[in-house]
Structure formats: C-alpha cells, structure tokens
Structure 1
Amino acid sequence: ENLRSSVSTFSNVHYPDLVAACDYVITKPGYGILSEAVYAETPVLYTDRGKFPEVPYLLKALQEEIPSAYLSNEELFSFRFDSAVARVKSWKGNPSPVFKRDGREDVKHAVGVFLKLI
C-alpha cells in the first residue's frame, strides 16, 4: 500500500483548527506545537529535534504530561506509524492540572486587575 498517496495537503488553514481536527500531531518537539496540541487535546507523535537547550524539558513534558509517543525518523520517513499510535493509545502519564485549566478564571482575574487600575 502506498501511504504517501493518502497524505493530504492544505493551504490557507488556521493552524490551531487543523491541530484540533487531527487524530494525532506528528512533529518535532517545540513550544508552539506542543501548546496547540495540549489546548486541542490532540495526542502527539514526536521525532528527534536535535540538540537545543529546551529539548530535555520538552521531552520530559511529552513523556510525563502530554499523551504522546516517540516516532523514530526511520518510522517517520517510511510512514510506519502503527507502533507509535499503539503506544500513545496506551499512554500512562499523568496530565498536569495546568493543562485542564478553564480560561474563564484567567479572564476573570485579568479583568479584576484591570478594573482596580482604572
């Protein structure tokens, strides 16, 4: 089966909407994509990023707090995602309560602070 023929590409799509519409995000770890995936509650399949100072912290979050699984470059480039998908489905981490926050409380606090200033 030629999996590459089943890959779709899109233009002019709002990035956060695309992340929310996906079953999984396949990416290298980065603050932006992980933030969007957490907000959208979309599991992450991640591959190597390289030697950047933030990598250990991002990997720790992926392993402990974000439903995720490692995907080797070999698996990525040969479109073999089954093993990583199975691992993310059986992920046993413990999501941080920070990831379950309700933004209404943040807005309420910000408005309260603003009103005290005027």
Structure 2
Amino acid sequence: MSSFNRPGDVFLADCPARLAVEILSDKWSVVTIYALGNGPRRHGELKALIGGISSKMLTQTLRRLQHHGLVRRQAFAEVPPRVEYALTGLGESALEPVGVLSRWAEHNGDAILAAQEGGAAPL
C-alpha cells in the first residue's frame, strides 16, 4: 500500500502533489496562467494584462512556471528580438483548477472583504 493513500497526504512534505499545490497557491502563478489561457503573449502584454506586477516579479514567475513545465518560452530570431510565452499541455491542464478558484474568489470576494472589515459575511 502506498504511503500516499491516506486523506491529506498530498500536503506532506515529500509528496509530489504538494509541489503542484504550492505552484498553484502563488497569486502571481495563478494570474499568469490565467493570462496565458487565451494564447501566447509577450512579456509586456502580460505585464499590462495582469496589472500590479513588476517586471522583475513577472520574469521570476515565468521562469518558475517554465522550470516546472507549465510555460514554454519561445525566442524568435528577429530584429528587434521577440519572445513569447505560452502554456504547455501541463499548463493548459491547470486552467481548470485556476478557473474554479477564480469563480470561487469572484463569488466570495464581498464576503471576504466584509470579514476583513469586521462585518458580517453575507451568506
């Protein structure tokens, strides 16, 4: 019997699924994956689309997602140089959970704000 068959085991330090959860729990990873959901984008396009992210943080996020196999970087031999980022098949498979999380956040955003302000959360 595998040591990963008990409920909650995906959150143990040595479970590979924990890495996937950690990647998708990063706010910049989630919005970057979402932003790439409609096709390849250049760095500047992503920065404008996401809003609030610095160029440095976007570069770090793209590199991390590329390292984990969710994003592909393609450099074109042009003058001036052009680089595009796109989701890989693995990255595209993350769009479903990212979409579910986005819908939950949209549906519950007001309740979270109310709780932060000390008010009663709407049901």
Q: Which bracket does the TM-score occupy, shorter chain normalised?
A: 0.3 to 0.5
TM-score (norm 1): 0.35
